[in-house]
Structure 1
Amino acid sequence: MANVVVVGAQWGDEGKGKIVDWLSEQADIVVRFQGGHNAGHTLVIGNQVYKLSLLPSGVVREGKLSIIGNGVVVDPKALIDEIDRLGGQGVAVTPDRLRIAENATLILSLHRELEAIRESGASRIGTTKRGIGPAYEDKVGRRAIRVMDLADLPALRGKIERMLVHHNALRRGYGMGELSPETVYEELAGYAPRILPYTDSIWSLLDARRREGKRILFEGAQGALLDIDHGTYPYVTSSNTVAAQAATGSGMGPGSIGYVLGICKAYTTRVGEGPFPSEQDNEIGRLIGERGHEFGTVTGRPRRCGWFDAVLVRQTVRTSGINGIALTKLDILDGFKEIKVCVGYRLDGREIDHLPASEHAQAQVEPIYETIEGWDEPTAGARSWADLPAQAIKYVRWVEELIGCPVALLSTSPERDDTILVQNPFET
Structure 2
Amino acid sequence: MTESASLEEQVGIKGHNLTFAGVGGIIKLLPEDFLVHEILPNGEILYTGDEIGKDVGGMYVHFVLWKRGLDTNSALKRISKLCHHNEKDFGYAGLKDAHAETIQRISVWSGQKECLGDINLPNLKILNPIRQKFGISIGDLVGNRFQVRIRNTQRNVNHSEWKTVCSESESNGFLNFYGLQRFGSKRPILHKFGRYLLQEKYSLAIDSYLGTESKFENEKISSLRKMYVKKESLAEIYALFPYTYSFERRMLSGLMKRSSPEKIIRSFPIYFLRLAISAYQSFIFNKLLSKLHTKRYELLSQLRLPIIGYSTNMSTLPLEIKSLLQDFLAFDNLNLKSFNHEIKKLSSKGTERAAIVKPSDVKITSNLAKNDDVQIHFSLPKGSYGTMFLREVI
TM range (shorter): under 0.3
Q: TM-score, normalised by structure 2?
A: 0.27
More helix by share: 2
Q: TM-score, normalised by structure 1?
A: 0.25
